[in-house]
Amino acid sequence: MTGDRLAAADDLIGRLRATRTEPATDPHVEALALAVSANLPVLLWGEPGIGKSATLQQLADGLGAPMETVIASVHEPSDFAGLPIVGDDPATQGVPMAPPDWAVRLSRGGHGLLFFDELSSAPPAVQAALLRVVLERRVGSLTLPPAIRIVAAANPPASAADGWHLSPPLANRFVHLHWTHNPRTVARGLSGTWPAVTVPQIDLARSATALAKARGAIAGFLTARPGLTHHLPADAESRGGAWPSPRTWEMVTRLLVFHLCAGTGRDALTSAVIGAVGDGAGLEFTTYLEELDLPDPERVLANPAAFALPDRGDRQLAFLTSIIAAIQADPTRPRWDAGWTVLAKAVDAGVPDVAARAATDLAAMRRPEWPVPAAIDAFVEVLSLSGILSRAG
């Protein structure tokens, strides 16, 4: 009799859990999906009970992938570094570091979502052990497959149980997204409809242009604002969040490429970029990006005589960097010759110094059977100093 009553209770609980989903329009949700699609580790910051874990479960369901949840605060460093297992001949074979069961399950499945919860409650020693998992994807002697996505959640130290600030090396490996609850979303969800978290559709036909534009934009911006290449905040709380470094600018490059290939919203890109390099650098870069308006490098290479060089020096560098990146992606003789036509126009416009770096990279792509173009004469001095002319004979 008691078993029948519990079965009925469990059936009722199951009916309460039955909900449906609808496409999400929240830029923070879209930013999460963008970063996960780009396979960048993401850290969701938010107060307890606002749906961080539920959002990640929705993401896993949308991916059709299993999710392994690891409560970071209740683990020891050895749970991530691996436990030593003595083999048959440790003197010659060494002592392997056995991974935990969750890592083995993910490795066997080949894909999935690895979710580290309560990261800010993990003591410094555990955070140090997590560095290798997040950056190198190594758990003990096991390397996680490339398709595994890493996401974490944390409460602000003030509201976390025994909260700690994240160490700067660990914090600098994540895209930080600040999670808040939307009362309307909660009300609609409790009525039976929650937002779905879906990964954006990538258009690979845009990849070459997207990569060229992204590299050009990053090069131009950091040339204009070199102080933002690396800036470690002074206070402990800010060091435990997003801040600019060469590593996080590499994240921004990947985010921008995926944004251009998937056509995600501008607000989502802004949230993701700020999550990688911080508020100041992120807002400044996205504003720069809106004003940059680089020409399509593929169209320029198809008709190099018909483009107009931008006026500002940082934009000129961004444009020429995008041209070189596009040629590097598909280095054919006609595209290489078109690149020299572009550089010749830069010289005619009176900015040979801006074109010099691009000329060095373009000359290094030359194949022995390709004749030296006339436009190279304007760069003989810089190419001689770099040794390229001597190697080319």
Task: Give the chain's mean pLDDT.
Answer: 85
Which of the residue ranges 96-100, 293-297, 348-352 would you say has the lowest mean pLDDT? Answer: 348-352
Three-state secondary structure call for residue 298: helix
- Quick one: what percent of the chain has pLDDT higher than 90? 35
pLDDT at residue 116 in the model: 93
Domain span at residue 27?
20-83+97-196
d(CA 100, CA 89) in angstroms, rounded, equals 23
102 belongs to a structural domain: yes
Higher pLDDT, 346 or 385: 346
Residue 264 lies in a domain: no
* Minimum mean pLDDT range among 166-170, 243-247, 297-301, 312-316: 312-316
Q: Are residues 181 and 44 in the same domain?
A: yes
Task: Confirm whether 60 is domain-assigned.
Answer: yes
265-274, pLDDT tens digit by residue?
999 999 999 9
Question: What pLDDT does residue 161 have?
Answer: 54
Q: Give the phi and the psi of residue 110 in degrees, each rounded to 5.
A: 85, -20
Does any domain span residue 380?
Answer: yes
Last residue of one domain, picked from the residues 176, 196, 216: 196
Q: Are 139 and 133 in contact (CB under 8 A)?
A: yes
In a domain, 240, yes or no: no
Q: Can you tell me the mean pLDDT for 106-117? A: 92
Residue 293 lies in a domain: no
Q: What is the pLDDT of residues 131-151, one digit of tens each?
A: 889 988 999 889 999 999 999
Select from 196, 216, 232 the last residue of a domain.
196
Q: Are residues 189 and 314 in the same domain?
A: no
Encoded amino acid at 190, one letter: L
Verify that 308 and 185 share a domain, yes or no.
no
- Do 46 and 191 belong together in one domain? yes
Residue 390 banded pLDDT, cuts 50, 70, 90: very low
CA-CA-CA-CA dihedral for 187, 192, 194, 196, to nearest 10: -160
pLDDT band, residue 229 (cuts 50/70/90): very high
Boundary residue ending a domain (181, 196, 211): 196
Highest mean pLDDT pick, 47-51, 83-87, 166-170, 351-355: 166-170
Two tokens, residue 194? 């929650």
Which CATH number do you get for residue 166? 3.40.50.300
Same domain, 180 and 313: no
Same domain for 35 and 161?
yes
Q: How many domains does the chain have?
A: 2
Residue 188 lies in a domain: yes
How high is the pLDDT of residue 384?
62
Residues 183 and 320 in one domain: no
Neighbours of 92 (CB within 10 A): 7
User: What is the Cα–Cα distance from 80 to 97, expressed in whole angstroms?
Assistant: 10
| pTM for this prediction | 0.84
Q: Tokens at residue 239, please?
A: 């060091």
Calpha distance 162→6 (Å, rounded)? 37
Rg of the chain's alpha carbons, rounded to an integer? 25
Do 37 and 170 belong together in one domain? yes
Is there a domain that residue 4 lies in?
no
